[in-house]
Amino acid sequence: MSKPRLAVVLFNLGGPDGPKAVRPFLYNLFSDPAIITLPAIVRLPLAALISTTRAKISALSYARMGGGSPLLPETTAQAGVLQAALTEVCPGYEARLFIAMRYWTPTTEEAAAAVQAFEPDEIVLLPLYPQFSTTTTGSSLKAWRKAYKGKGRVREVCCYPLDDGFIDAHAQRIRAAWNAAGAPADVRLLFSAHGLPETIVASGDPYQAQVEATAAAVAAKLGGGWDWTVCYQSRVGRLKWIGPSTIEAIEAAGADGKGVVVCPISFVSEHVETLVELDHDYAEHARAHGVTPYVRVPALGVQAHFIQGLARAVQTALDRAHQGKGDIAPGSAWRCGREHGRCPCLEGVP
């Protein structure tokens, strides 16, 4: 007898694959109502304006990486390693990995069509955003529900901010980067996450709380009394964003006579925010403020503990009797409070 078919869909942001893709990628991003929460009659013209005005500057950033984003190759590598891991933890299934990029190719619609052609018995939706936000996981899940019309029972993984594998992977990456830099003593560990406008967090989005919980868990795993703080990067627009910003945290470390070890705590793949913003822009800012050393911790990529954590998340999701958006975060001790009512893990709480 053939094994039941399992489709695992990896959600990620996506990125332009060449210079001509930068403007349409930005338009797709800023036209998403989860990003700009305005009526379409205002949002769409605003998205066109922003994407046009920002295209040249953004293209320069992507040019530093060879003209396009490495996010799809990075995600493809993660999919390949995860598929191999699933043969061990889910041996009763014929598992296949699919990639759904929110703002570029392969699009959610393309991924949905590929999954539909696969005719799966089970589907696990797995975001590569460890901490839930309505602007990332929430938007990706909404797009999937609209696009997919095929067969298969669906399980959703909403978040895994305290997953053991995820925490262990970060701790190992930090230790390795610190040791490679000569184990400097007088440094501050900066957990740098993508920022959000304060209004989104105030609406019940759990992202900031989950990021800070991740950072605390990684610091505890490291032990040894590390000096650490959480900060946020990639601010755009005029709204007030959660803070402190990574720039401010770097300056504060310099004022205290410390170097920095910067860990991208919400990014699991290398892309423009890590390879350009952290490696170039913020590194130059650190040098200008006398902050030395400046040590950047690599993103998790295919780190073994991280991939094993993802595989266990799929396994845990399959073991649940219920399906749909009420699924509680798997492989993790995290539970959103009632003040974070926009996280779907609350919908599975009695």
Instruction: Please compute the mean of the pLDDT values over residues 44-51 and round it to a whole number.
Output: 91
Mean pLDDT computed over every residue of the chain: 91
The pLDDT-based confidence of 5 (bands split at 50, 70, 90) is very high
Residues 6+ apart with CB under 8 A from 94: 2, 3, 4, 5, 6
The pLDDT-based confidence of 347 (bands split at 50, 70, 90) is low
The pLDDT of residue 107: 97
The pLDDT of residue 65: 85
- Taking the CA atoms of 55, 56, 60 and 61 in sequence, report the sign of the dihedral they define: negative
**328 pLDDT exceeds 70?**
no
Question: Comparing 5-13+70-161+303-348 with 164-296, is the CATH topology the same?
Answer: yes
Instruction: Please compute the mean of the pLDDT values over residues 183-191 and round it to a whole number.
Output: 96
Other C-beta atoms closer than 10 Å to the C-beta of 100 total: 27
Residue whose pair of structure tokens reads 């209004």 in the numeric block: 199
The pLDDT-based confidence of 344 (bands split at 50, 70, 90) is confident
Q: Say if residues 85 and 56 touch (Cβ distance below 8 Å).
A: no
Nearest alpha carbon to residue 102 among 33, 198, 199? 33
The pLDDT of residue 92: 94
Distances in Å between the alpha carbon of 241 and those of 160, 190, 202, 245?
23, 18, 11, 8
**123 pLDDT exceeds 60?**
yes
Instruction: Please compute the mean of the pLDDT values over residues 109-138 and round it to a whole number.
Output: 96
**345 pLDDT exceeds 50?**
yes
Other C-beta atoms closer than 10 Å to the C-beta of 150 total: 16
Supply the pTM of this predicted model: 0.93
For the chain, the residue count is: 350
Q: pLDDT per residue over 190-216, tens digit each?
A: 999 999 999 999 999 999 999 999 999
Assign a CATH topology to domain 5-13+70-161+303-348. Answer: Rossmann fold (3.40.50)
For domain 164-296, which architecture applies? 3-Layer(aba) Sandwich (3.40)
The pLDDT-based confidence of 111 (bands split at 50, 70, 90) is very high
Q: Which range is least confidently modeled, 58-67, 135-144, 246-255?
A: 58-67
The pLDDT of residue 349: 46
Instruction: Please compute the mean of the pLDDT values over residues 64-77 and round it to a whole number.
Output: 92
User: How far is the first Cα of the chain from the last one, in angstroms, to the nearest whole number?
Assistant: 38
128 exposure class (CB count in 10 Å sphere: 0-12, 13-18, 19+): buried
**299 pLDDT exceeds 80?**
yes
The pLDDT of residue 173: 98
**322 pLDDT exceeds 60?**
no
| Rounded Cα–Cα distance for residues 139 and 259 (Å) | 37
* Residue ranges of domains in the chain: 5-13+70-161+303-348, 19-63, 164-296
**168 pLDDT exceeds 70?**
yes
The pLDDT of residue 331: 45
Share of the chain above pLDDT 90, in %: 78
